[in-house]
């Protein structure tokens, strides 16, 4: 597996001087992109062939959050390659290489012309698969919608939300979820794990509704919908650590 190092900047932490979940998520996806490019199946290979990687599911689990100017190291590897879905895993380490978090992600390769998924064995080689016996986080779970959601917050897709394919960037959905949570929750507890399923896409000028249901002090559920046609875009859950 390959290790990539980053330094947390002051603008990437919250009022508790800890890196935000979106900061961690961005570095994980940056690492995935760099590693895929290094192995020959990243952006430089995909886009000229009218292909793109689409993040289907994502799980991030943190035991400790880095602060400003802290160095983190991210290890990444391909865990498995299925017919249409591949799993990439991550270890998150501090400067002394103690593990402070883990992540797991599921990806689909999409043909940009037909908008259909590609068979992965046409370009991913079995020798890319590696394993880390010490990695505990399983592949991201498939989530189900709750029967009822009790609160909502609205957003509108703007220029800064878009990626290079003019879709809302994967991490922006996490930001909207965090922005829908009352500030007092971040004072009383920490996010220990975030699981997110990407169901469909959002585009410029779309109206976005984040629905939430807080099952307990330790568990919250979210559904992101298109505010006009009610199409489901994202399902997510947060597991909280209340023992501060």
- 3-state SS, residue 61: strand
pLDDT at 36: 94
pLDDT over 70 (residue 192): yes
pLDDT over 80 (residue 180): yes
pLDDT over 70 (residue 244): no
Q: Which of 57, 71, 35 is nearest to 174 (CA)?
A: 57
pLDDT digit string, tens, across residues 29-86 = 999 999 999 999 998 898 888 899 999 999 999 999 999 999 999 999 999 999 999 9
R_g of the chain, CA atoms, integer Å? 18
DSSP alpha helices (H): ranges in 59-203?
A: 170-179, 183-188
Task: Give the residues across from 198 on adjacent strands.
Answer: 234
DSSP 8-state code for residue 127: G
The pLDDT of 213-241, averaged and rounded, is: 95
CATH 3.10.129.10 positions along the chain are 2-128, 151-241
**Average per-residue pLDDT in the chain?**
94
CATH of domain 2-128: 3.10.129.10
- 3-state SS, residue 94: coil
Assigned CATH topology for domain 151-241: Thiol Ester Dehydrase; Chain A (3.10.129)
Residue 133, judged by CB atoms within 10 A of its CB (0-12, 13-18, 19+), counts as exposed
The pLDDT of 177-192, averaged and rounded, is: 96
Distance, in Å, from the CA atom of 57 to the CA atom of 222, rounded to the nearest integer, reads: 14
Q: Which residues of 25-59 are buried (b: 16+ CB within 10 A; e: fewer)?
A: bbbbbebbebbbeeeebbeeebeeeebbbbbbbbb
């Amino acid at each position: 597996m390959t290790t990539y190092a980053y330094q947390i900047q002051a603008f990437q932490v919250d009022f508790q001087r800890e890196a935000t979940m979106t900061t961690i998520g961005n570095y994980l996806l940056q690492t995935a992109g760099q590693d895929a490019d290094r192995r020959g199946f990243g952006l430089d290979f995909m886009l000229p062939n009218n292909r793109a990687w689409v993040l289907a599911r994502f799980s991030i689990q943190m035991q400790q959050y880095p602060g400003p100017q802290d160095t983190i190291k991210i290890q990444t590897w391909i865990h498995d390659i299925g017919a249409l879905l591949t799993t990439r895993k991550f270890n998150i380490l501090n400067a002394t290489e103690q593990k402070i978090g883990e992540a797991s992600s599921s990806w689909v390769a999409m043909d940009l012309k037909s908008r259909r998924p590609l068979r992965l064995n046409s370009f991913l080689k079995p020798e890319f698969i590696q394993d880390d016996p010490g990695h505990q986080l399983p592949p991201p779970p498939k989530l189900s919608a709750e029967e009822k959601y009790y609160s909502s917050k609205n957003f509108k897709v703007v220029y800064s939300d878009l990626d290079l394919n003019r879709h809302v960037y994967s991490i922006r959905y996490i930001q909207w979820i965090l922005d829908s949570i009352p500030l007092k929750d971040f004072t009383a507890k920490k996010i220990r794990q975030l699981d997110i399923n990407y169901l469909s896409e959002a585009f410029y000028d779309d109206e976005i509704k984040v629905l939430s249901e807080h099952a307990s002090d330790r568990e919250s559920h979210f559904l992101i919908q298109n505010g006009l046609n009610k199409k489901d875009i994202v399902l997510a859950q947060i597991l909280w650590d209340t023992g501060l």
